[in-house]
Structure 1
Amino acid sequence: MTRFSIQDMSRQSGLSEPTLRYYEEVGLLGPIARDESSGHRRYSDDDLDAAQVLSCLRAMGVGIDDMRTYLANRRDGHEKAAEQRDILLRHADRVEEQIVTLRTHLDYLRAKAALWDARDRADAAAEAEAHVELEAVLPRLEAVLR
């Protein structure tokens, strides 16, 4: 069984050393073996696999409780497939909402930049067009800001 130092785990999983320690503390990883002479953590291949899964889930904004459930379900296999799907779809819905919000912010910023660009060029027709675009975006912006 390969044994990784915490530095190796951090590099390979993308999780910081403090995050690895925290995940061990809250029970997401571990128990982690210790070197008998130094007491340093020694991670296994299975620990690395779990850390890489946690890194992906963390990047997607999945919370600790859902991470814990997801890892437990992985161990249980096919019988927990529906629950795994539901966890992922719930977070996919949240990401989709974030995309809508970001798209609205982007549309607002572009419309506002077009307005200032038209003013900079003293182009009254382009400024009027930018105002129309801005007026179309404002209701969506107000909705996502609530």
Structure 2
Amino acid sequence: MTTLTIQDVSRQSGLSEPTLRYYEDVGLLGPIARDERSGHRRYAEGDLDAAQVLACLRAMGVGIEDMRTYQANRRRGREAAREQRDILLRHAERVEEQIATLRVHLDYLRVKAALWDARDQADAVAEAQAHAELESVLPRLEETFR
């Protein structure tokens, strides 16, 4: 059986070594086998797979408790499918809200850049147009702060 070092798993999963240790400490990974002589962690392929799943969840902003539930549900298999779906859809909804907020921020930045470009070009018509666009963006921007 092939075993991997913590450095191998860190490199392949994208999780730092301290994060891997932490995830083991809080029960998200493992328990991880140890080398009898050195005491160093020795990860199996299944541990690497679990670390990669956790890295994906973490990148999407999933918190520790939902990660813990997700990992437990992976072990339960099909009987936990509905709960897995619900966890993922709940986070998908949160990501959609973040995307909407970022779109408003992007609109604001582009309109402000157009305003400053018009000023740089001494283009009064373009500046007035940018001001009008800004008036439509500002209420949406203010909503993102609530």
Q: Give the TM-score normalised by structure 1.
A: 0.99
- Give aligned pairs, total: 146
Q: Aligned ranges for residues 1-146 of structure 1 at < 5 Å?
A: 1-146=1-146
Give me the identity figure in percent. Answer: 81
Residues 42-89 of structure 1, C-alpha deviations (whole Å, 9 max, x = no match): 001110010000000000000000001001111111111110000000
User: 2 CA distance for matches of 1:75 and 1:142?
Assistant: 44
| AA at the equivalent of 2:72 | A
Gapped regions of structure 2 (runs ≥ 5)? none
Q: What secondary structure sits across from 2:39 in the alignment?
A: coil
User: Following superposition, which runs of at least 4 residues in structure 1 exceed 6 angstroms of deviation?
Assistant: none
User: 2 CA distance for matches of 1:94 and 1:77?
Assistant: 25
| AA at the equivalent of 1:126 | A
User: 2 CA distance for matches of 1:143 and 1:114?
Assistant: 22
User: 2 CA distance for matches of 1:134 and 1:15?
Assistant: 41
Structure 1 residue 16: deviation in Å? 0.4
Residues 81-129 of structure 1, C-alpha deviations (whole Å, 9 max, x = no match): 1100000000000000000110000000000010000000000000000
Q: What secondary structure sits across from 1:136 in the alignment?
A: helix
Gapped regions of structure 1 (runs ≥ 5)? none
Q: Give the TM-score normalised by structure 2.
A: 0.99
Structure 1 residue 2: deviation in Å? 1.5
User: 2 CA distance for matches of 1:96 and 1:108?
Assistant: 19
Residues 120-143 of structure 1, C-alpha deviations (whole Å, 9 max, x = no match): 000000000000110000000000
User: 2 CA distance for matches of 1:78 and 1:35?
Assistant: 34
| AA at the equivalent of 2:98 | Q
| AA at the equivalent of 1:36 | E
| AA at the equivalent of 1:142 | E
